[in-house]
Amino acid sequence: MTRVLTTRGDAAPRSSASAGTTGDAPRSSPIVPLVAALLVAGTLIYIKTADLDAIETRSLAIGELLVRLAEHVQLVAVSTVVVVALGVPLGILLSRQAAGPLQAPVLAVANAGQAIPSIGILVLLALLYDVGFAMAVVSLVVYALLPVLRNTMVGLRQVDRSIIDAARGMGMGSRRILFTVELPLAVPVMLAGIRIALILNVGVATLATYTNAGGLGDLIERGIVFYRMPILLSGCLLTIALALLVDWLAGVAESRLRPRGL
């Protein structure tokens, strides 16, 4: 009887470890980047084999595609960095008890930024200020700020108060508790918000073409304006491939940066 109980006790941790491994597996699955690669390869094969006119040939040249892709990646990268630089510190500030009166108005502004159609933000900024890369980044930041801000606040609020009290009882100050206890425990929720903001920016950045900021949206816009289906289809497929790849990379980074044991 003792032997049976011992065997069952040993089996539980192994089962738990196996479950954890299985849960992390989809994040690093090669299926998503494989699908993205197939989309890119299929698009290039289509461009090479299709009967294109002069406009389509110029728009779908490899050099032109690489320029538009680089512009799109730059828009997404810069806007996401700015969102994280603004959203995380602001979320930390609003999660403090002293900032309670500021939570409602700040969240209302962030909610409004995402409720307004992204094309409306782009056009409004273009009319009030100017067109170009900077205005496109500003509109992307306004649109994607809410997930990072809210998830930072939620992640910090869900930290067990007994853990904070225990750290305070050990003589830790408020700043040390924040950086050694609260933030590490809130990292999974915060990373999920950053991932959402990143994917939002990939999609919305296609509209940056209307502020003369470039990106893959240029291809989609040309295809619509000139009624050229090969250009439109290529722009859409490359945008989908980029979104899939970015989402997969963000998932891998999320699983790697998550503190062990959480």
Write down the residue that tokens 């959203």 correspond to.
Answer: 87
* pLDDT 10s digits, 76-88: 999 999 999 999 9
Distances (CA, A) of 72 to 91, 107, 133, 136: 27, 28, 10, 11
| Distance separating alpha carbons of residues 169 and 21, to the nearest angstrom | 36
Residue 39 has pLDDT above 50, yes or no: yes
What average pLDDT does the segment 219-248 reach? 94
Residue 235 has pLDDT above 70, yes or no: yes
The pLDDT-based confidence of 126 (bands split at 50, 70, 90) is confident
Which residue ranges make up each domain of the chain? 32-257
Look at residue 23 in the predicted model and tell me its pLDDT: 40
The pLDDT-based confidence of 60 (bands split at 50, 70, 90) is very high
Tell whether domain 32-257 is in CATH 3.30.9.10.
no
Name which of 32-36, 40-44, 100-104 the model is least confident about: 100-104
**What is the pTM (predicted TM-score) of this model?**
0.82
* pLDDT 10s digits, 134-185: 989 999 999 999 999 999 999 998 988 898 889 888 888 888 988 888 888 9
What mean pLDDT is reported for the chain? 85
Look at residue 28 in the predicted model and tell me its pLDDT: 62
Residue by residue, DSSP assigns 45-81 as: HHHHHS---HHHHHHT-HHHHHHHHHHHHHHHHHHHH
Look at residue 147 in the predicted model and tell me its pLDDT: 93
